[in-house]
A and B are shown apart, each in its own frame.
Chain A
Amino acid sequence: MNEEELVEYFRAQMRKDPDMASAVAAIRTLLEFLKRDKGETILGLRESLTGATDCLTGVDSSVAVSSGGELFLRFISLTSLEHQVSGLPGTRPFLLHSWTRSSSREILGVKLVTFVNSVRQDLSRCKKVMEERGELFLEKISMSRAKVAKLCHTFIKDGAKILTHSYSRVVLRVLEKAAAEKKRFSVYVTESQPDSAGRQMADALRKLNVPVTVVLDAAVGYVLEKVDLVIVGAEGVVESGGIINKIGTYQMAVCSKAHNKPFYVVAESFKFVRLYPLNQQDVPDKFKYKADTLKTVKNLSEEHPMIDYTPPSLITLLFTDLGVLTPSAVSDELIKLYL
């Protein structure tokens, strides 16, 4: 599967289901890549997967795609570790023995071929297991939004006024569930320039018959005294328990801290990423700007960043498919996975 096919498959996935998270589409693409891969070794597989992930981040530079790719790579390592690809037991020492004993190339050639065949069989068995587990993994994470919605909607009380930022499909799902549970609430959405994604969110909410008001990004401080709670999504959840999200989220978090309003984050667990930014500058440039901008523009300091980092001290709770977590619990989860 070459680069163009990869990109085309990814774009097709995103078009087919606009509701799917970009990380899920990335993982699906990588799984397809795995199925079509003709490599002979695990190391080669890993290298080609890393190349594929880089290619995908070239299309969609969000943190989520990068975290999805890393997760998939980790998945491959864990699965291949379980099914050690080492060939038939005793083959290698036998090979060495025969090399020293026999000088006949024919016998050696035959032995080499049997060794390679056995490795190939092991590899194909391992790949089969990977494909099965990969499908299972995809199935599980496609249910994660429903799990998050189930956990979060109990925190929305009757008569609540909610503030949210930009367009987040997870937040939309949570509000859908709350509306389905017959709760009455109203929503303020920020316009979220430069792409006015907030208006998209407002339209979606109007379809649910939820009273919604679009406010300017600059009006967040003004509107916070009326609001009961703030719920935002996240593009990535970093190791410290902070989040990376659309620009304007940090501002909202600081204001809600000043007003003592709870600031809730809803995110699926595949968005956990191994970054530890200490301030806004620490977030790598490759996430801050859109992929096209990174390729075409020479001087990035004149571009507006698309995301910002919100430190964990401003976040009250994180709702994930692994449960309701305090920011300190996030690093525990990441450690369990990666170490």
Chain B
Amino acid sequence: MPGPDKETDLTERIEAFLSDLKRGGSGTGPLRGSAETARETTALLRRITAQARWSSAGDLMEIIRKEGRRITAAQPSETTVGNMIRRVLKIVREEYARSRGSSEETDQQESLHKLLTSGGLSEENFRQHFATLKANVIEAINELLTELEGTTDNIAMQALEHIHSNEVIMTIGRSRTVEAFLKDAARKRKFHVIVAECAPFCQGHEMATSLSKAGIETTVIADAAIFAVMSRVNKVIIGTQTVLANGGLRAVNGTHTLALAAKHHSTPLIVCAPMFKLSPQFPNEEDTFHKFVSPHEVLPFTEGEILSKVNVHCPVFDYVPPELITLFISNIGGHAPSYIYRLMSELYHPEDHEL
């Protein structure tokens, strides 16, 4: 029977995705990039929409939320998963509103205007059944997937506006987005790149190798030398793991140091971040904000004697406050950090902030 088979198939896929997430999240080592995670999450959500049993938009949203909570619990620091789930929930809401023919789309957010003019305390409960809803939602999710495919290219296309000839650019660690960004500019401009190695994983080395293969003059420096070299740098271009709701970043450790050094020298700090990295979280949750991995990278276990006398920590992320950032370059263009709240309201519905 196709019914139960589909369901077990679906649950199997979800379980496989969950275990993959749990395993693959070790620092910024050999794991999947955020873009792949986002794509896989969206594909999984499309499968859930197609195969799970639901009769109204409310049911679908409940199913997505339930699965979403499980998936985010598997790897809390991987925020792209949560972001994609919220995007799909917003898609469901929009398609529902469109099917009902109401113009409520623009008025979904809480606002003073809505407080004054609404006629009732009625909560939209999404119980009506529409035959075309499934097809519409799946189509919209496909559009989202196409958007995801093109994000890196869209960001790289903007490179020529920001990078000029004979400039010295600094970056830290390894970001696929920044790599594509710099490679695209290198086709037409000649410039130098200084890469901070970003200990203890030293992803900067791989970045430098990749950039020099593309013909860009690259220098690798230790993290401690960032301030010393900063006076010669024209721009700092970095990637990030997450963009927080206040415009701050959760980026690889060492980024805050880089940002402070750039501020001191009044060097512009540009962050290349696709829209799926935008998360409605604020930097207040201490327990979920940081991720610690094996301290083996910092102090190898072979140093037996010292281990009993010291505590060794290896945090993966850093918080960068919004005042240190000059510009965000995303697949929809460049924005100031103070504009992030607006993008947030366009991408997610406020009721979905808490899954």
Total contacts A-B at CB 8 Å: 66
Q: Are A139 and B121 interface neighbours, CB within 8 A? A: yes
Give every chain A residue within 8 A of B121 (Cβ-Cβ).
136, 139-140
- Counting CB contacts under 8 A, is B302 at the interface? no
Q: Are A326 and B111 interface neighbours, CB within 8 A? A: no
With A136-B118, A136-B121: A272-B112 Cβ-Cβ less than 8 Å: yes
Q: How close is A263's CB to chain B, nearest CB, in angstroms?
A: 13
Q: Contact partner of A337 among B116, B245, B284, B286, CB < 8 A?
A: B116
Q: Contact partner of B286 among A157, A269, A325, A328, CB < 8 A?
A: A157
What is the total number of residues of chain A having a CB less than 8 Å from a CB of chain B? 33
- Counting CB contacts under 8 A, is B303 at the interface? no
Q: Are A317 and B339 interface neighbours, CB within 8 A? A: no
Q: How close is A209's CB to chain B, nearest CB, in angstroms?
A: 24
Q: How close is B150's CB to chain A, nearest CB, in angstroms?
A: 29
- Counting CB contacts under 8 A, is A78 at the interface? yes
Q: Are A337 and B341 interface neighbours, CB within 8 A? A: no
Which chain B residues (137-153) contact chain A, with CB distance < 8 Å?
A: none
CA distance A79 to B120 in the complex (A): 14
CA distance A316 to B247 in the complex (A): 11
Give every chain A residue within 8 A of B117 (Cβ-Cβ).
78-79, 82, 133
Give every chain A residue within 8 A of B342 (Cβ-Cβ).
329, 332
Q: Type the 1/0 row for A109-137, where 1 means its CB is closer than 8 Å to any CB of B.
A: 00000000000000000000000010011
- Counting CB contacts under 8 A, is B350 at the interface? yes
Q: Are B111 and A322 interface neighbours, CB within 8 A? A: yes
Give every chain B residue within 8 A of A82 (Cβ-Cβ).
117
- Counting CB contacts under 8 A, is A155 at the interface? yes
Minimal Cβ-Cβ distance residue in B for A328: B338
Give every chain A residue within 8 A of B118 (Cβ-Cβ).
136
Q: How close is A69's CB to chain B, nearest CB, in angstroms?
A: 14
With A136-B118, A269-B115: A323-B246 Cβ-Cβ less than 8 Å: no
- Counting CB contacts under 8 A, is A336 at the interface? yes
Give every chain A residue within 8 A of B282 (Cβ-Cβ).
155, 317, 324
Which chain B residues (272-313) contact chain A, with CB distance < 8 Å?
A: 282, 284-286
Q: Are A328 and B339 interface neighbours, CB within 8 A? A: yes
What is the total number of residues of chain B having a CB less than 8 Å from a CB of chain A? 24
CA distance A139 to B338 in the complex (A): 33
Q: Are A336 and B338 interface neighbours, CB within 8 A? A: no
- Counting CB contacts under 8 A, is B119 at the interface? yes
Q: Are A75 and B350 interface neighbours, CB within 8 A? A: no
- Counting CB contacts under 8 A, is B113 at the interface? yes
Q: Are B120 and A136 interface neighbours, CB within 8 A? A: yes
Minimal Cβ-Cβ distance residue in A for B341: A329
CA distance A76 to B338 in the complex (A): 33
Q: Are A74 and B246 interface neighbours, CB within 8 A? A: no
- Counting CB contacts under 8 A, is A196 at the interface? no
- Counting CB contacts under 8 A, is A204 at the interface? no
Q: Are B339 and A140 interface neighbours, CB within 8 A? A: no
Q: Are A323 and B110 interface neighbours, CB within 8 A? A: yes
Which chain B residues (235-258) contact chain A, with CB distance < 8 Å?
A: 245-247
Q: Type the 1/0 row for B312-355, where 1 means its CB is closer than 8 Å to any CB of A.
A: 00000000000000000000000000111110000000100000
Q: Type the 1/0 row for A282-315, where 1 means its CB is closer than 8 Å to any CB of B.
A: 0000000000000000000000000000000000
Q: Type the 1/0 row for B208-248, where 1 means its CB is closer than 8 Å to any CB of A.
A: 00000000000000000000000000000000000001110
Q: Contact partner of A133 among B110, B119, B245, CB < 8 A?
A: B119
Q: How close is B320's CB to chain A, nearest CB, in angstroms?
A: 14
26 A-B contacts (beta carbon < 8 Å): A71-B112, A71-B116, A78-B113, A78-B117, A133-B116, A133-B117, A133-B119, A137-B115, A154-B285, A155-B284, A157-B284, A157-B286, A269-B115, A270-B112, A321-B110, A322-B110, A322-B112, A323-B350, A324-B282, A326-B338, A328-B338, A328-B339, A328-B341, A329-B342, A333-B111, A337-B116
For the complex with contacts A140-B115, A323-B110, A329-B342, 17 further pairs of A-B residues with Cβ separation under 8 Å are A82-B117, A140-B121, A154-B284, A317-B246, A317-B282, A321-B110, A322-B110, A322-B111, A324-B245, A324-B282, A326-B246, A326-B247, A326-B340, A328-B339, A332-B342, A336-B113, A337-B116
